[in-house]
Amino acid sequence: MKIIVTRIIPDRGLNMLRGAFGDASVVVTRQDGPIPRPELLKIVGGADALLPMLTDRIDDELLDAAGPQLKIVANNAVGYDNIDVPAAQRHGVIVTNTPGVLTETTADMAWTLMMAAARRVGEGERFLRGGKWTCWSPMQLLGMDIHGATLGIFGMGRIGQAMARRAAGFGMKVIYTDSFRMAEGAEKSLNVTYVEKAALLCESDFISCHCPLTQETKHAFSTAEFAAMKSTAVFVNTSRGPVVDEAALAEALKAGKIFAAGIDVFEQEPKVHPALLECENAVLIPHLGSASVETRSRMAAIAAQNIVACLRGEAPPNVVQG
Ligand code: DGY
């Protein structure tokens, strides 16, 4: 067997693969940093399984380079917008992802960003470390209250629902929009109300994005959306960068069209729009939504489990249909 893992992942995943197929079968191409495309195209030849990261593009060219031996692409992420799923299907290759395990950890991070942006934690820290704090002041770095506010959730999948559960503890009103409305019972038990996008924009004090990246959600937040929000609103994105028009977000932050933003994902990672970097009222972190020790370990284990099942001729548990 030849199993290509494009970056070092936690031991739990690697040990599963090595235990099932032997040390020599598992090739880890990089300790850190993405493998350059030409190198990946070369090394993937004759592979039975590929365990890529969201930074690796999996398309016709790569599937051709892999050859007919390839049976599975087990993405080390829940999102799979880096994979051309129809192309994989044409090549007879199964695609899997890592759903479920990162839900709570990603919601924790969205919540962290929401609070940090609302209460100006980044600005405060820079202020203090910069030696600018001379005295407590009644007017210094005033932010927005989270408790009792209205949270608008854009995309009510697993992570959106985890956000709604957290909001209950803060006495927030929760509204949401999605292409699918939840069943009435589910809405009731989560204490959430469905609204159209236009209402979500103008009624929310906080908006948190939890949709997948699709043709429909690309730039779902641009100039018009930021203009429709409250000037006191805080915007959070832990989904995928291209859901947000970064230039428009920077403009809205600078012009005071919204109060602040907490952003984990970017349009052209690892590049960040220079105008966004200039915004003091933006909390910016490098795609850390699922980055806890336990969750990254569980993601690696799930990706490995999908490969083990597939190469043993069993159905992998997390097949995506595209
Ligand atoms: C995912 O799994 O899609 C995340 O973005 C990676 O943390």
Q: From the CB of 109, is ligand 1 less than 6 Å away?
A: no
Ligand 1 neighbour 300 (Cβ under 6 A): no
Contact 78 CB / ligand 1 (< 6 Å): yes
List, for residues 247-297, the tens digit of each pLDDT value: 999 999 999 999 999 999 999 999 999 999 999 999 999 999 999 999 999
196-248 pLDDT per residue, tens: 999 999 999 999 999 999 999 999 999 999 999 999 999 999 999 999 999 99
Record the tokens describing residue 37, joined without a space: 């495309």
The third-level CATH classification (topology) of the domain covering 3-100+292-311 is: Rossmann fold (3.40.50)
Q: Which pLDDT score is estimated for 30?
A: 81
CA-240 nearest atom, ligand 1: 5
Diameter of the chain by CA atoms?
A: 68
Atom of ligand 1 nearest to the CA of 79: 3
Does the beta carbon of 241 lie inside 6 Å of ligand 1? no
* Catalytic site includes residue 119: no
* Ligand 1 atom at shortest distance from the alpha carbon of 98: 2
| Lookup: tokens for 146 | 């989270």
Has residue 33 got a pLDDT over 90?
no
Distance (Å, rounded) from C-alpha 223 to C-alpha 232? Answer: 16
Q: Which residues neighbour 23 within 8 Å (Cβ) at sequence distance 6 or greater?
A: none
| C-alpha 77 – ligand 1 centre gap (Å) | 5
At 166 the pLDDT is: 98
- 287 CA to middle of ligand 1, Å? 8
Residue 240 is among the residues annotated as catalytic for this protein: yes
- CA-to-CA separations, 212 to 8, 155, 215, 216, in angstroms, rounded: 25, 8, 10, 10
> Where in the chain do CATH 3.40.50.720 domains reside?
3-100+292-311, 103-284
* φ, ψ at 290 (rounded to 5°): -100, 10
Predicted TM-score of the model (pTM): 0.96
User: Hey, whose CA ends up nearest to atom 4 of ligand 1?
Assistant: 77
CATH, domain 103-284, list 3.40.50.720, 3.40.50.2300, 3.30.420.40, 3.30.70.600: 3.40.50.720
For the question of residue 269 being annotated catalytic, the response is yes
Q: Compute the chain's Rg from CA coordinates.
A: 21
Q: What is the pLDDT of residues 109-137, one digit of tens each?
A: 999 999 999 999 999 999 999 999 999 99
